[in-house]
Structure 1
Amino acid sequence: MQLTDEQKKEIDQARLSNFETRRPTVSELEEIMFKPLPVLDHGFVRIIDYMGDDAAIVQAARVSYGKGTTKVSDDAGLLNYLLRHRHSTPFEMCEIKYHIKLPIFIARQWIRHRTANVNEYSARYSVLDREFYIPDQVNLATQSKSNRQGRGEVLEGKEAAAVLDLLRDDAENNYNHYVEMLNEDESGHIIDETRDGLSRELARMNLTLNTYTQWYWKIDLHNLLHFLSLRADEHAQYEIRVYAEAIMETVKRWCPITYDAFIDHRINSVTLSGKAIQVIKKMIDGVSIDQEESGLSKREWRELMGVLEKLD
């Protein structure tokens, strides 16, 4: 991840700012305010603003006028109860705003979560930077044979090298043509005064999807936890999962009690269907049962067996 001198100066100035406030603040989160947390090769996540904390969730749940109970254990018990029983409204009282730099193809996957406020860098107004996501070789893989939206075996040797060359060459060539069509460089300066360039809103169509974009993303804690439960999952695409993992670390600082409850009741928990529960009951009773007898589909059976293997 590279920042320009101007960007570094802007971040330093923001971090030097100090405001008096009567609203709750979280010292652990304040420590990393505005700091870019590196993700992938050129991406980052950084916190711009936030509202609320663990106590605010408790306060909203109890509709109280102060900080709620004085015992942390009481607050932890309530927060665990709320998450365990999926009471979402109190968590919506906390909000956080991020500045995120990410490849366009991940942004298009990310934007499917329609529960946030988003303002993206405008390629109609500005020239996009010459920055592209090029995966590490260990993250190049074949198409999974069992999952249409997953990866299989890691590509190695000449085949992997050829793919990386194609990704770099195509991104560079398309960006060069983008600049040529615009007739302006990355700073917006005219290249050839004797000709007109294509409009930015049209020239951008030539860019590859591994080009980086940026946006401000504001979301409440309830919807953020839902996002993380999907995108921090081990089955999520690697390139979006690493962003989710970076955001998880910010949530851990922001609302540590809620974070622990989330890990316990979402990340490290499983949901079982009624049929799956019946299968487990029979297994506990010593009854031998296979997939055909279970009433579960082959995929459901594989998933259940995967859960049981983790318990060994």
Structure 2
Amino acid sequence: MPLSPDQQAEVDALRDTPQSTLRATVPGIEQHLYKPHDVLDHGFVRVIDYMGDDSAICQAARVSYGKGTKSVQNDEGLIRYLMRHWHSTPFEMCEIKLHVKLPVFVARQWIRHRTANVNEYSARYSILDREFYIPAPDHLNAQSVVNNQGRGALLEGEEAARVLDILKADSNRAYDHYEQMISDDGQSGLARELARMNLPANIYTQWYWKVDLHNLFHFLRLRADAHAQYEIRVYADAIAKVVADWVPAAYGAFEDYRMGGAQLSAKGLDCVRRMLKGEQVTQETSGMSKGEWREFEGVIG
């Protein structure tokens, strides 16, 4: 299950004892505090703490005191300007701390975003639970024939069933051996820091992940993208919903300029200008490689 009884009791206790504060708070994200948002089969994301709001971004940009301008529209306009012109430091004034439960192989992708503070559950000291990520049948795909790091057609029938049987059997067999190695029943038992090497990459781990909004937006731009691996994308999608409630103006600008927008190279911009003048531009006359042209066509439709 996503939360252990002890963790659920902690959540209940924290939500039952609200504290008064003079710092800026956001009702939208307050509703998310401590609550787990289920992801995959055993994972979750939950907000542990946060700092700042849309006004904090504007305050930092103006280096002023208080809430900045009196007009919400003016603040939103400033935030859109900052996003549009790639001004990053004002967004760094907001931070969020998340508790995430995720498969180890997803964590290894996630940790490449090195601009965060991370503290992971230690299998040197503690025993990992028997919880593994097993894909749903509609997420079992063959290797893509056009993308070395992507998925292709869905596996079906006997092949899909065989793959699921292998994943379940191997995961449980590895965990059985893990328990046998660390057991001190009639033996000394192997050290936990060594026994963990035999565990599969689909076992679940947990960590606290603290990041500022600028670097969180970078994470979401890459991991909430349709081309990102499904197993990390669903975590990014869950986080994005929280961020939209936390800093709605900043998230709106991010959606518009980063997620919904596109960046063109100098060659791409030149091709657009030529097309607007009525010229028939092809890959051969564009100066782009086949891969660049294919991506360019995807942008301009």
| Same topology, TM > 0.5 | yes
Counterpart for residue 130 of structure 1:
130
2: distance between equivalents of 1:246 and 1:233?
A: 13
Counterpart for residue 187 of structure 1:
none
Residue pairs, 1:29-68, within 5 angstroms: 29-68=29-68
Residue pairs, 1:176-215, within 5 angstroms: 176-183=176-183, 190=184, 192=185, 194-215=186-207
Tell me the secondary structure at the aligned position of residue 90 of structure 2.
helix
Alignment match of 2:281 (pick from 280, 289, 304): 289
Amino acid at match of 1:297: S
Tell me the secondary structure at the aligned position of residue 244 of structure 2.
helix
Counterpart for residue 220 of structure 2:
228
Identity percentage over the alignment?
61
Q: Does 1:5 align with 2:5?
A: yes
Counterpart for residue 83 of structure 2:
83
Gaps of 5+ in 2: none
Tell me the secondary structure at the aligned position of residue 128 of structure 1.
coil
Q: Does 1:274 align with 2:290?
A: no
Q: Does 1:120 align with 2:120?
A: yes
2: distance between equivalents of 1:3 and 1:78?
A: 40
Q: Does 1:245 align with 2:237?
A: yes
Contact in 1 for aligned 2:38/2:44 (Cα 8 Å): yes
Amino acid at match of 2:181: M
Counterpart for residue 167 of structure 2:
167
2: distance between equivalents of 1:232 and 1:240?
A: 8
Tell me the secondary structure at the aligned position of residue 102 of structure 2.
strand
Structure 1 residue ranges (4+ consecutive) displaced by more than 6 angstroms after TM superposition: none
1: distance between equivalents of 2:4 and 2:76?
A: 43
Tell me the secondary structure at the aligned position of residue 69 of structure 1.
coil
After superposing the two structures, state which structure 1 stretch, 9-18 or 28-37, moved more. 9-18
TM-score, normalising length from structure 2? Answer: 0.98
| Deviation for aligned residue 1:21 | 1.1
Contact in 1 for aligned 2:2/2:44 (Cα 8 Å): no
1: distance between equivalents of 2:8 and 2:46?
A: 13
| Deviation for aligned residue 1:75 | 0.2
Amino acid at match of 2:91: F
1: distance between equivalents of 2:106 and 2:2?
A: 19
1: distance between equivalents of 2:298 and 2:68?
A: 41
2: distance between equivalents of 1:218 and 1:105?
A: 20
| Deviation for aligned residue 1:4 | 2.7
2: distance between equivalents of 1:175 and 1:300?
A: 46
Q: Does 1:260 align with 2:247?
A: no
Amino acid at match of 2:170: D
Deviation string 1:199-239 (CA, Å, 9 cap, x unpaired) is: 00000000000000000000000000011001001100000
Deviation string 1:84-137 (CA, Å, 9 cap, x unpaired) is: 001000110110000000000000000000000000000000000100000111
Amino acid at match of 2:33: M
Cα distance change, pair 48–128 in 1 and its aligned pair in 2 (3 A): same
After superposing the two structures, state which structure 1 stretch, 34-43 or 273-282, moved more. 273-282
1: distance between equivalents of 2:238 and 2:20?
A: 29
Tell me the secondary structure at the aligned position of residue 236 of structure 1.
coil
Counterpart for residue 296 of structure 2:
304
Counterpart for residue 70 of structure 2:
70
| Deviation for aligned residue 1:240 | 0.4
| Deviation for aligned residue 1:19 | 1.3
Amino acid at match of 2:29: L
Tell me the secondary structure at the aligned position of residue 213 of structure 1.
strand
Tell me the secondary structure at the aligned position of residue 289 of structure 1.
coil
2: distance between equivalents of 1:301 and 1:196?
A: 63
| Deviation for aligned residue 1:14 | 1.3
2: distance between equivalents of 1:240 and 1:2?
A: 17
Amino acid at match of 1:110: W
1: distance between equivalents of 2:5 and 2:227?
A: 38
| Deviation for aligned residue 1:18 | 1.5
Counterpart for residue 156 of structure 1:
156
Tell me the secondary structure at the aligned position of residue 208 of structure 2.
strand
Aligned length: 301
